[in-house]
């Protein structure tokens, strides 16, 4: 669990002019909303604190130049230039750090930004792009010409799905690259979001809204904590960091929590978070996942706005009311299926065979594509489909119905409605 200092230390920290709360109270933050594709949000941290501030500032410039005017990705590379002054650099890195900010902008083009996404067919694509690919300084005008890489633009403009909106003014004031990333994550999951875990739902556990479990391997990947070696030469590129879970709590989670909470209390941020950890049994208490509880202005924490501490009511990730129970619960239904112990490939072939009994080849291809996508995240997908089909086959009305009746029943009820018991559905293909 997250830990807080005792009341005496907290008071001293509050009164100190070096404290987070005091410093944020002095800030003049110009709030402006910008959006990033979730591909950027999910990408590992590859830039340092100041470089990420430059990313935020350039995103604001992109919004003012392209998004607000409704323009697409420019065809002319000259349109991708942004002309900054020392005042702009002062906003990014502080008025006393203009030379340092100038230096980082001049070398940002040497750094790749890693992205990872999945195509509609389920294929994983891994790539690297630049944020800045050209930088010039005009000695006569004192202006800096920064060209944003055209490869990053599709992740900044014309976003109509899978994106996160955050306050660039808040992001520019954060004091740790880890706080920056956790701020982005909180903004992504701080709305009406509910994490879906079909295996938990089969047990009757439904996650509360704005509760986000993150596996430790995914967490380490996002925060760029693992060792990195060249895939061809095996040469060490980056050593692993914060390998002890205690260090992750101390240097990442607690630091970000304190900073975001202080900003939240000063009305400089709209989000902050609590966290809990899940440990494996019989493995020395090793952390296997971290659960974030995201709080916002519209959905604040109940009671006092402070981190969870020992003696408080436990943080509960699930809704208090379970899913409605049936004569046989979901787990029993799956376990009773004759095909539940078959391997995945065999189950896939069996599902396709069952669908072929009732649907056209084109419809079978459509449904198998949707089922395969779901199977990437849930190991019981094929068993779930087989279960609802076989349960329908046992109904006398279905068994005695015409071929057209059975076809419509499979499409409009079995795969669209009955699968909802397992937390998902497949809408019929468009005619």
Domain boundary among 129, 160, 191: 160
Residue 427, domain member (yes or no): no
Read off the pLDDT band of 284 (50, 70, 90): low
DSSP β-bridge partners for residue 36: 164
Residue 83, domain member (yes or no): yes
Q: Is 291 helix (H, G, I), strand (E, B) or coil?
A: strand
Same domain, 309 and 360: no
pLDDT at 88: 93
Same domain, 335 and 317: no
pLDDT at 257: 97
Each residue of 362-401: pLDDT tens digit? 999 999 999 999 888 888 899 999 999 999 998 988 888 8
Each residue of 111-162: pLDDT tens digit? 888 887 777 777 888 888 889 989 999 999 999 999 999 889 889 988 888 8
Q: Is the pTM higher than 0.85?
A: no
What average pLDDT does this structure show over 329-343?
A: 80
Same domain, 50 and 128: yes
Domain boundary among 299, 323, 347: 323
CA distances from 321 to 16, 201, 208, 261 (A): 45, 12, 10, 29
Residue 357, domain member (yes or no): yes
Same domain, 40 and 82: yes
Same domain, 45 and 101: yes
Domain count of the fold of the chain: 3
Other Cβ atoms within 10 Å of 296 Cβ, number: 19
Same domain, 404 and 389: yes
Task: Tell me how many helices (H) and strands (E) the chain has.
Answer: 18, 12
Q: pLDDT at residue 93 above 60?
A: yes
More confident residue, 6 or 373: 373
Nearest to 339 by CA among 381, 368, 378, 393: 381
List of residues 6+ apart from 81 with CB closer than 8 A:
134, 145, 146, 147
Most confident of 16-20, 54-58, 284-288, 328-332: 54-58
Same domain, 129 and 7: no
Domain boundary among 305, 323, 341: 323
CA pair distance 67, 153, nearest whole angstrom:
11
More confident residue, 242 or 5: 242
Residue 429, domain member (yes or no): no
Same domain, 358 and 312: no
Each residue of 196-228: pLDDT tens digit? 887 777 777 889 999 999 999 999 999 999 998
Q: pLDDT at residue 5 above 70?
A: no
Residue 168, domain member (yes or no): no
Same domain, 357 and 376: yes
Q: Which two tokens stand for residue 381?
A: 């997908």
List of residues 6+ apart from 416 with CB closer than 8 A:
425, 426, 427, 428
Residue 267, domain member (yes or no): yes
Lowest mean pLDDT among 10-19, 118-127, 334-343, 402-411: 10-19
pLDDT at 69: 67
Query: What's the sign of the alpha-carbon dihedral 53, 57, 58, 59?
Result: positive
Read off the pLDDT band of 8 (50, 70, 90): very low
Taking the mean position of all CA atoms in its chain, how far away is CA 109? 26
Same domain, 203 and 70: no
Lowest mean pLDDT among 26-30, 134-138, 170-174, 354-358: 26-30
Read off the pLDDT band of 325 (50, 70, 90): very low
DSSP β-bridge partners for residue 165: 35
Q: pLDDT at residue 32 above 60?
A: yes
Query: What's the sign of the alpha-carbon dihedral 125, 49, 154, 209?
Result: positive
Same domain, 246 and 348: no
Other Cβ atoms within 10 Å of 21 Cβ, number: 17
More confident residue, 11 or 191: 191
Read off the pLDDT band of 308 (50, 70, 90): very high
Read off the pLDDT band of 14 (50, 70, 90): very low
Residue 359, domain member (yes or no): yes
What average pLDDT does this structure show over 53-76?
A: 80
CA distances from 356 to 19, 351, 363, 391, 399 (A): 67, 9, 9, 17, 16
Same domain, 36 and 110: yes
The three state secondary structure string of 154-220 is: HHCCCCCCCEEEEEHHHHHHCCCHHHHHHHHHHHHHCCCCECCCHHHHHCCCCECECEEEEEHHHHH
More confident residue, 210 or 72: 210
Residue 231, domain member (yes or no): yes
CA pair distance 292, 277, nearest whole angstrom:
9
The CATH number of whichever domain residue 239 belongs to comes to 1.10.10.10
Do residues 270 and 297 touch, judged by C-beta distance below 8 A? Answer: yes
Structural domain for 368, as ranges: 330-422
What average pLDDT does this structure show over 302-331?
A: 77
Mean model confidence pLDDT for the chain: 86
What average pLDDT does this structure show over 316-328?
A: 63
């Amino acid at each position: 669990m997250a830990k807080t200092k005792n009341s005496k230390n907290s008071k001293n920290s509050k009164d100190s002019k070096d404290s987070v709360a005091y410093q944020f109270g002095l800030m003049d933050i110009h709030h402006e909303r910008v959006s990033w594709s979730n591909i950027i949000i999910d990408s590992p941290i590859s830039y340092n604190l100041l470089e990420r501030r430059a990313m935020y500032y350039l995103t604001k410039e992109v919004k003012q130049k392209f998004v607000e005017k409704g323009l697409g990705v420019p065809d002319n590379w000259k349109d991708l230039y942004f002309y900054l002054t020392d005042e702009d650099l002062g906003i990014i890195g502080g008025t006393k750090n203009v030379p340092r900010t100038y230096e980082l902008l001049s070398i940002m083009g040497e750094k790749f930004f890693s992205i990872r996404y999945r195509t509609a067919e389920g294929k994983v694509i891994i790539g690297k792009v630049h944020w800045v690919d050209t930088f010039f300084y005009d000695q006569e005008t004192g202006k800096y010409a920064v060209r944003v890489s055209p490869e990053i633009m599709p992740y900044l403009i014309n976003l109509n799905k899978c994106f996160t909106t955050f306050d660039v003014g808040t992001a520019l004031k954060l004091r740790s690259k880890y706080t920056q990333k956790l701020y982005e994550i909180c903004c992504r999951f701080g709305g009406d979001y509910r994490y879906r875990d079909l295996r938990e739902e089969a047990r009757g556990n439904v996650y509360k809204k704005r509760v986000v479990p993150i596996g430790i391997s995914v967490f380490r990947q996002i925060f760029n904590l693992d060792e990195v070696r060249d895939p061809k030469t095996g040469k060490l590129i980056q050593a692993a960091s914060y390998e002890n879970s205690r260090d992750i709590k101390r240097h990442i989670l607690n630091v970000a929590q304190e900073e975001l909470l202080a900003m939240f209390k000063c009305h400089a941020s709209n989000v902050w978070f609590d966290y809990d950890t899940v440990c494996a049994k019989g493995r020395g208490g090793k952390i296997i996942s971290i659960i974030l509880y995201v709080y916002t202005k519209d959905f604040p924490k109940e009671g006092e706005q402070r981190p969870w501490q020992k003696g408080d009511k436990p943080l509960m990730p699930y809704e208090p009311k379970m899913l409605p129970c049936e004569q046989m619960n979901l787990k029993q239904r799956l376990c009773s299926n004759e095909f539940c112990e078959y391997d995945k490939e065999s189950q896939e072939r069996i599902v396709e065979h069952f669908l072929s009994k009732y649907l056209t080849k084109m419809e079978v291809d459509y449904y198998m594509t949707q089922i395969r996508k779901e199977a990437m995240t849930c190991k019981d997908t094929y068993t779930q489909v087989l279960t609802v089909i076989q349960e329908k086959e046992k109904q006398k009305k279905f068994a005695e119905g015409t071929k057209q009746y059975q076809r419509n029943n499979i499409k409009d009820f079995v795969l669209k409605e009955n699968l909802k018991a397992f937390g998902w559905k497949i809408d019929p293909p468009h005619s």
